[in-house]
Amino acid sequence: MPDPVIAQKSPYVKLTAPGTYWWCACGASKDQPFCDGSHKGTGFAPKKVVITEEKTIAWCGCKHSGAGECCDGTHRKL
């Protein structure tokens, strides 16, 4: 499987309401950091994330984070 597209070399910091979200893992979505179906046929799949209370999340934008959907600073090494 190829490496994911780096959507941006910084996190998407968003105040996120409770709900179910699908984090884009391929990097090709036009609705970053969330999935818009662009991964079809790439071997990538979005990650389901359930938020139970409103909070600010640093969603990974580089798609290489060791913490999955959450930024861990990996983008600084790319």
Task: Note the pLDDT of residue 63.
Answer: 97
Quick check: 2 pLDDT over 90? no
Task: Note the pLDDT of residue 43.
Answer: 93
* Angle at CA of residue 44, ends 1 and 27, nearest 5°: 100
- End-to-end, the C-alpha distance of the chain in Å comes to 19
Q: What is the mean pLDDT of residues 20-47?
A: 97
Q: Give the pTM.
A: 0.93
- Please give the DSSP secondary-structure letter assigned to residue 34: B
